Structure 1
Amino acid sequence: MLSVFDSLRDVNMVSITVRMVLAVLCGGIIGIEREYKRRPAGFRTHILICLGAAMTTLTSQFLYLQMHYYTDMARLGAQVVAGVGFIGAGTIIVTQRQRVKGLTTAAGLWASAIIGLAIGGGFYEGALFATFLIILAELLFSKLEYRMLENAPEINLYMEYTDRSCLEQVLKLYREKNVKVLNMEITRATGSEHHNACAIFSLRLHKKCKVEPLLDAIHCVEGVAAVEEL
């Protein structure tokens, strides 16, 4: 433990102020990154969750130390850990194309709540270090994740097309590029004047085949309305 924080571990007006301000700062730092990427829960949401969690721990300590209610001090904090999942679930959506979004934001909200509990309990070192690691994961590790996805051997593609002959041309393109079709799902039948047919492909790529050139080649096939990776 760092001795610089020893004077702030007792529950007094100074330590309460420091903990609340620190909760706002840590939650805000995590929220800025989400706000920058235009995610559902951004700057203010992370601040409120982190601050609320810190106040929960502070309230538990106040009830125990000042009001002498000798109950389990961790009980309120445990409810925060479970209850924040309700807010996190609201940021997770499944798009019309069966793509899940919001998992990182939901995990960030949950982590912000844990950081708030740590700050409220006076565990400053853990809260600050956790905030640093979360920012590192969201900024640096995200680039590593994208690079890994670029070299992923198996991908899922969503495609909209106009007629069956177009689908046959795309399957022929896969054979020419030595791309193996693991699974194919037709999600909407042809024959409608207002909607294109849709297909979802599970593909296995060889080492020399990259995702972006493959998407460009599929998009050049006559009759393909749209194609993207899921």
Structure 2
Amino acid sequence: MIEWTTVVTRIAVAALCGGLVGMERERKEWTAGLRTHMMVCVGSCLAMMVSTYGFEDVRGVEHVSLDPSRVAAQVVSGIGFIGAGTILFLRNEIIRGLTTAAGLWTVSAVGLAAGGGMYFAAFLTTITILFILLGLKPLQKLFFTKHHQQVIKIKAEAGPAVLDQLQQVLTDQGVTISYLSTERKSKEVIIYLKIKTLASGQEMFGLIRQIQTSPLVKDVVWHENG
């Protein structure tokens, strides 16, 4: 049987690795943040230990054949339901949460590695995940156009006037629209915009304030694309 000190070590490693990734997602104010990533990683770690050591008492019984990888394999496929819950289809091509969903899936694998005693692999993968989440984002913004965009969601009273006012504000601010769609809901209209990222956050806040000055606009939400 596995020693209790080994159990503590593996659970602690899983909690640490999951927590490091979760803190990055928490910083971005995602629903799946610190606690979710830690729970997934620790749960995967326990599943791996159960898969490997949980059936020792029947392993030697005649006609009993066990595959230690079966429980762990179910973790890899089963974690998808949590990842799917983090993906938001805002409108057509505007999707958020793919990176967080992929992170949860990868964190489950980190937990399996910790549960299997592969500490170096667990820590190395965690460091790689953090590099992907933190280190690659500036490079994406530098080399890929789509990461120079912001998504703005505007809820307003239905009618052509709101689009005219919005167009005027964007023109005055020198903002170029790369994508626009509207969704009619009763007496309201929801407008989705993709625009090129402005030079500073202050300029972006200024644009939002200008949009909110319209009496037809009820709510404005914006976030960075990708």
Please, what TM-score do these two structures have when normalized by structure 1?
0.66
Q: Does 1:113 align with 2:128?
A: no
Mapped partners of 1:59, 1:36: distance in 2: 33
Mapped partners of 2:184, 2:190: distance in 1: 5
- Is the contact made by 2:212 and 2:220 (CA closer than 8 Å) also made in structure 1? no
Q: Does 1:78 align with 2:58?
A: no
Task: Report the aligned-residue RMSD.
Answer: 4.4
Aligned to 1:88: 83
* Structure 1 residue 59: Cα displacement: 2.0
* Structure 1 residue 152: Cα displacement: 5.1
Aligned to 1:61: 52
Mapped partners of 1:22, 1:114: distance in 2: 13
Mapped partners of 2:104, 2:147: distance in 1: 28
* Structure 1 residue 184: Cα displacement: 4.7
- Indicate the percent of aligned positions where both proteins have the same amino acid: 29
Aligned to 1:164: 160
Q: Does 1:27 align with 2:23?
A: no
Aligned to 2:7: 16
Mapped partners of 1:213, 1:41: distance in 2: 26
* Structure 1 residue 50: Cα displacement: 1.4
Aligned to 1:103: 98
SS in 2 for 1:199: strand
Aligned to 2:31: 40
Task: Specify the code of the residue in structure 2 equivalent to 1:199.
Answer: I
* Structure 1 residue 16: Cα displacement: 3.2
Aligned to 1:200: 192
Aligned to 1:185: 181
Q: Does 1:130 align with 2:125?
A: yes
Q: Quick one: structure 1 residues 183 and 80, their matched pair in 2 at CA, closer, same or farther if it must change by over 3 Å?
A: closer
Mapped partners of 1:139, 1:41: distance in 2: 17
- Is the contact made by 1:85 and 1:110 (CA closer than 8 Å) also made in structure 2? yes
Please, what TM-score do these two structures have when normalized by structure 2?
0.67
* Structure 1 residue 57: Cα displacement: 1.8
Mapped partners of 1:25, 1:175: distance in 2: 49
Mapped partners of 1:214, 1:149: distance in 2: 25
Structure 1, unmatched stretches of 5+, are: 1-9
Q: Quick one: structure 1 residues 183 and 38, their matched pair in 2 at CA, closer, same or farther if it must change by over 3 Å?
A: closer
- Is the contact made by 2:25 and 2:34 (CA closer than 8 Å) also made in structure 1? yes
* Structure 1 residue 53: Cα displacement: 1.3
SS in 2 for 1:186: strand
* Structure 1 residue 222: Cα displacement: 5.6
Structure 2, unmatched stretches of 5+, are: none
Aligned residues: 216
Mapped partners of 1:42, 1:155: distance in 2: 22
Q: Deviations over 1:142-193 (max 9, x none)?
A: 4444566777577765444554244245557778999876765332279x4x
Task: Specify the code of the residue in structure 1 equivalent to 2:98.
Answer: L
* Structure 1 residue 55: Cα displacement: 1.9
